[in-house]
Structure 1
Amino acid sequence: MDGVTIRPARSNDAEGIAAVHSASWRSTYSGIVPQSYLDDMHPAKTVERWRDAAMGKHPGAHLLVAEENGKIIGFETYGPAREPAFGYSGELYAAYFLPEAMGKGLGTEMMKTVVRDLAAQGLNDMIVWVMEANERGRRFYEKILGGAVVEGSRQSFEIGGATIREIAYGFRPLPLLK
């Protein structure tokens, strides 16, 4: 993508990352997550968490940002798999983009860096959890990256009083992205 820089996050990116996180949740999960929960998502509530992530305070985790004209428009965080249950060594923890940055190939471009970094760490496969009702996200992982739903990977959690179902997509080996 012309004019977009993909780079490791810095601590001063935390406000922009938090803004993308909130905006992306409101856009992507409307109708999936209770509206009251989405309405209560304010970037100020997560700035310190993202500053810690950018400063490398989570062992093994990496945080990439996409920046355009000095503004953070997306981010992805990844590293070693958090759960060994499914036998994957790497994991994409989160991938969020401003609504206006979606559908332009940015996710695929960032995934190229994620895949290279995971492979360089000796993590030769990857898992990612996605809300089952997030059709756009699921299409990306299935069609663009060629992932398959991991057998037995369904799980549920509560958000704002609603039960949210997740499934995992697995990539074994890591996808070859050109």
Structure 2
Amino acid sequence: MVIKRAQKEDADIIGEVHSAAWKQTYQGVFSQEYLDSDLPSARREEFLNSLNDKNCVYLLLKEDDHASGIVKLLVNRNDIEVASFYILEEYRGRGFGRKILEYIFSEYKDRHFVLWVLETNLNARAFYEKCGFELTDKTRLIDRGGKFKQLMYERK
């Protein structure tokens, strides 16, 4: 697996992979209508707009020269928020997620990490807990074609 910081020329593949992996992750959770509204072109634009933000970092994951996932980080002085972390279904279960987090932890030593996860996403919650994240008491409601509760995790 190769992890690289995404550049402008990666915009199309970032859009494709982000949208596809996001839809795979939330199939059966969010309504089909809401899932269908997530377009690769919008994810591409989101990435291109982030290039002007020095605190936003996208990582592109590749396996055998095929894009396999994306990670979006919001980097502040002391905190790093893992804002998006999506791996295509066909690459899940191979240890990529753990390797990606190890890479991020080594790149940003001595930082406080946070992320939000759906309360009902038990697989993601278990994964993050195995990787050293701890559940906090912070919650929020998000609108994804309906109201969904997210829980905040942190790693100190």
TM-based fold match above 0.5: yes
Equivalent residue, structure 2, for 1:110: 100
Equivalent residue, structure 2, for 1:168: 152
- 1:170 Cα deviation after fit: 0.9
Equivalent residue, structure 2, for 1:147: 133
- 1:165 Cα deviation after fit: 0.8
Give the gaps of 5 or more residues in structure 1.
83-87, 173-178
- Relative to its length, the structure with more strand (as a share) is 2
- Superposed CA deviations along residues 58-95 of structure 1, whole A, max 9, x for unmatched, are 2222211111343321111213359xxxxx72221111
Equivalent residue, structure 1, for 2:73: 78
- 1:125 Cα deviation after fit: 1.5
Q: Name the % identity.
A: 27
Residues 141 and 81 (structure 1), Cα distance of their counterparts in 2 relative to 1, 3 Å cut: farther
Equivalent residue, structure 1, for 2:41: 44
1:20/1:73 contact within 8 Å kept: yes
Root mean square deviation, CA, Å = 1.9
Q: Is 1:28 the counterpart of 2:14 in the alignment?
A: no
Residues 147 and 39 (structure 1), Cα distance of their counterparts in 2 relative to 1, 3 Å cut: same
- The whole-number CA distance in structure 2 between the counterparts of 1:101 and 1:52 is 27
TM-score (norm 1): 0.79
Give the gaps of 5 or more residues in structure 2.
none
- 1:106 Cα deviation after fit: 0.8
Equivalent position SS for 1:31: coil
TM-score (norm 2): 0.90
Residues 81 and 139 (structure 1), Cα distance of their counterparts in 2 relative to 1, 3 Å cut: farther
Corresponding pairs, count: 156
Amino acid at match of 1:91: E
- The whole-number CA distance in structure 2 between the counterparts of 1:125 and 1:112 is 14
